[in-house]
Amino acid sequence: MTTVSSSRAVIRQKLVKTRIIATIGPASESAEMLRELVVSGVDIFRLNFAHGSHAWLSELVLKIRTISAELECPVGILGDLSGPKIRLGAIVGDEVQCNEGAEFRFIRGNQSDVPTDLTCTYEPLIDDVKPGDRILLADGTVAMVVVEKDSNGGWIRCLVIQSGKVRSRQGVNLPGVALSTPSVTEKDRKDLEWALQNQIDFIGLSFVRQAEDIRDLHRLIASHNPKVVPLIVAKIEKTEAIDDLENILDATDAVMVARGDLGVEAEISRVPILQKLIIRRCNELRIPVITATQMLDSMQTNELPTRAEVTDVANAVIDGTDAVMLSGETAIGAHPLQCVRMMDRIAVEAESLVVSADPAHLRDDEDRRARPITEAVTRGTIAAAEYLQADLIVVATVTGRTALALSRMRSKVPVLAFTDREDVARRMCLYWGVTPILNQVVQQSADALLQYVISWGRKNDVLRSGSKLIIVGHTNWLGETHDLMMVHVVP
């Protein structure tokens, strides 16, 4: 496949509105596979900082940026901080059966000689919990309750209330327990510094508990005075985050519904409802939202997903998620390319049921992320585009805010967003329905942009004679700053 034909394939793919995020791992780290994943529909690659050295991650960034330039297609990068993830230490015999009614202890230190004495990577666990608190192990399949705490602080005694087998280094969850550790660990600080040096576009903050965690990360990023300031993605995976959701949404740039740990921390039957509520509120406040974890999990080994997985992805799209994310499916699975293609097929089918926002019914308190004039122009643009059955909405943007405002409207008319800033182009890879185009033409006249769009549209089989375009943007084309909307019919 030639560069030109690949580029055109990517551009056509990008007109699909739901964004796809793929996690990189051993199954997808080669330049050839990364390129095929972009051509198949990946908009953003996720780097999981819990795995891999900075040297390896730097190689991945170079590969992604090279592929992006070759295909003339912006590709975002999400750096996912590990956060204070708690894991079991080594267990005698590497695993132990926990039968209901059996007693175990958590002790200090990093090793134990007794199978029923457990250790963990989070030493303050013994200090933070109290009798009556639950401790969940092995992704929540095993549950214990604290029944006694050593007066000298050396151990806690627990009773198994849900039986199962646990293995060394499996995850530990403490639902409802206020942890004394900060949300950004020392490892996270080092990973963040690397991310800022490499101009990573999005930073995922794991195990967010309250809005102050987001503000702390904002301050930490600002202290480095980075050339490019990444968007913060608040990962909602703890019940404390649900309790402080409104304040978290006020502080963050984007949200991830991280259903893995959320399904352990909260009652698992609540997860679908919480997902829908979070997506709906993010849509109202114009905050990009990602739905993640086990979306096509069976495709790690199988070539086709289950019907339930297909329904899950489709429902997330219909609910209004901006992006769907693949984790193990593309990181370690046997069929990373098939997973992305399947995700795309499901999204295309589901998008026909996405309901456009009615500009007349939007509340003023939901419009805080755009200037009132910009908001008015974007509302008018959507109304005009749908009334005229336009083929494209074209945005000239410096910061991406106008594109984000249009994305929130969930119009069926695709949006092309032109910018001359690489960081803004990559940032817009997260916006539903927005195809970012990096080009210097936005610095010229409205006519120059119009002619470029028509040429681009004809070349890529998007526009033809009689096609209707609506151009909107925050510009200084007329000698001073203006927000404008222009309708054009292709001759």
270 catalytic per annotation: no
Residue pLDDT, tens place only, 234-250: 999 999 999 999 999 99
* 79: nearest Cα among 103, 51, 120, 117: 51
What's the domain count of the chain?
3
Q: Is residue 178 part of a domain?
A: no
Q: Which of 252, 293, 397, 419 is catalytic?
A: 293
293 catalytic per annotation: yes
Same domain, 129 and 243: no
Two tokens, residue 226: 């980075």
Q: Which of 8, 85, 87, 149 is catalytic?
A: 87
- Given a cut of 50, is residue 22 above it in pLDDT? yes
Residue pLDDT, tens place only, 383-410: 999 999 999 999 988 889 889 989 989 9
Range of the domain at 267: 3-83+183-351
Q: Is residue 59 part of a domain?
A: yes
- pLDDT score, position 368: 52
DSSP string covering 346-408, please? HHHHHHTTPPPP-GGG--GGG-TTS-HHHHHHHHHHHHHHHHHT-SEEEEE-SSSHHHHHHHH
Point out the least confidently predicted range of 59-63, 90-94, 369-373, 475-479: 475-479
108 catalytic per annotation: no
Fill in the DSSP letter of residue 285: T
Q: Is residue 195 part of a domain?
A: yes
- Given a cut of 70, is residue 307 above it in pLDDT? yes
Residue pLDDT, tens place only, 420-476: 999 999 999 999 999 999 988 877 777 888 899 999 888 888 899 999 999 886 555
Same domain, 382 and 463: yes
Same domain, 133 and 203: no
Q: Which of 235, 379, 426, 468 is catalytic?
A: 235
Residue pLDDT, tens place only, 260-273: 899 888 888 999 99
Phi first, then psi: give them for residue 48, nearest 5 degrees.
-90, 105
Last residue within a domain, chosen from 351, 377, 409? 351
Q: Which of 46, 63, 105, 408 is catalytic?
A: 46
- Given a cut of 80, is residue 148 above it in pLDDT? yes
CATH of the domain at 68: 3.20.20.60
Last residue within a domain, chosen from 290, 324, 351? 351
- pLDDT score, position 85: 87
| Separation of alpha carbons 394 and 50, rounded Å | 39
Q: How far is CA 240 from CA 175, 208, 246, 444, in A?
A: 9, 8, 12, 49
Taking phi over 0 as left and psi of -120 to 50 as alpha, with beta for the rest, 199 belongs to: left
CATH of the domain at 450: 3.40.1380.20
Same domain, 280 and 256: yes
